[in-house]
Structure 1
Amino acid sequence: MMDPHDDVELSDLEDDAFIPDRTTGNLKGKSPNRFLRWIPTRMRTFLENMSRIRLVILTVIVFILLLVFISYWNGRLKDVSIPEQSIALSKELAKNLSHTAIPGYVLTYAPLVFLDIGEEFYPSDMAAHVSNTHPTIDFTPVKDAPEGLTLDNLNDLNDLGGDKIYLTSTTLLTKLPNYLHGQKPDKKTLQTENAVSCVIAVANKDGGILDAFYIYFYTFNDGPTALGHKVGNHLGDWEHNMIRFKNGEPQAIWYSQHEYGEAFTYDAVNKIGKRPIGFSAKGSHANYAVSGAHDLHELDEEIPAHIAFDHTSQGLLWDPTLSAYYYSYSDDKFSPATDKTPVNYLYFEGQWGDQQYLDSVVGQEEFHGFHKWNSGPQGPIFKHLDRKSVCLPRDGGCIIKESL
Structure 2
Amino acid sequence: MSRLFYRWCSSDRSRAQLVILILIVFILGLVFVSFWNERYILVSIPKHSSKLSAELAKNFSNTDIPEYVLTYAPLVFLDKGDLFYPSDLATHVSKAHPELNHTIIKDAPKHLTLDNLNSLNGVGGDKVHLTSTENLIKLPNYLKGEAPNKKTLQTGNAISCVIALANKADGILDAFYMYFYTFNEGPTALGHRVGNHLGDWEHNMVRFKNGEPQAVWYSQHEYGQAFTYKAVHKIGRRPVSFSARGSHANYASSGSHDLHELNDAVPAHIAFDQTSQGLIWDPTLSAYYYLYSSTDNNFTPAIEGTPVNYLYFEGNWGDEEYPDDAEGQENFHNFHKWTSGPQGPMFKHLDRKDVCWPREGECIIKTAL
Contact 2:217/2:356, CA 8 A, preserved across alignment: yes
Give the match for residue 268 of structure 1: 231
Give the match's secondary structure for 2:324.
Answer: coil
Q: Distance in 1 between matches of 2:340 and 2:147?
A: 25
Give the match for residue 374 of structure 1: 339
Give the direction of change, closer, same or farther, for the CA distance of 1:123–1:358 in structure 2 (3 Å limit).
same
Per-residue deviation at 1:119?
1.0
Give the match for residue 199 of structure 1: 162
Query: Post-superposition, which runs of at least 4 consecutive aligned residues in structure 1 deviate over 2 A?
Result: 68-77
Write the letter of the residue equivalent to 1:365.
Answer: E
1:129 counterpart (68, 92, 98): 92
Structure 2 residue 130 is matched with structure 1 residue 167: yes
Deviations 1:231-257 (A, max 9, x none): 000000000000000000000000000
Contact 1:214/1:242, CA 8 A, preserved across alignment: yes
Per-residue deviation at 1:360?
1.1
Give the match for residue 324 of structure 1: 287
TM-score normalised to structure 2 length: 0.90
Write the letter of the residue equivalent to 2:181.
Answer: Y
Structure 2 residue 255 is matched with structure 1 residue 292: yes
Query: Which sections of structure 2, spanning at least 5 residues, go unmatched?
Result: 4-22
Q: Which has the larger radius of gyration?
A: 1
Query: Which sections of structure 1, spanning at least 5 residues, go unmatched?
Result: 1-24, 28-60
Write the letter of the residue equivalent to 2:321.
Answer: Q
CA RMSD of aligned residues (A): 2.2
Give the match for residue 389 of structure 1: 354
Q: Distance in 2 between matches of 1:223 and 1:311?
A: 11
Per-residue deviation at 1:394?
2.1
Per-residue deviation at 1:396?
3.0
Alignment of 1:202-351 (within 5 A): 202-330=165-293, 331=295, 332-351=297-316
- The number of equivalent residue pairs is 345
Alignment of 1:14-53 (within 5 A): none
Q: Distance in 2 between matches of 1:314 and 1:75?
A: 11
Give the match's secondary structure for 2:359.
Answer: coil
Write the letter of the residue equivalent to 1:84.
Answer: K
Q: Distance in 2 between matches of 1:363 and 1:160?
A: 29
Give the match's secondary structure for 1:385.
Answer: coil
Deviations 1:370-391 (A, max 9, x none): 0000000000000000000000
Give the direction of change, closer, same or farther, for the CA distance of 1:251–1:326 in structure 2 (3 Å limit).
same
Q: Distance in 1 between matches of 2:272 and 2:253?
A: 14
Per-residue deviation at 1:73?
8.5
Per-residue deviation at 1:75?
6.4
Percent identity over the alignment is: 70
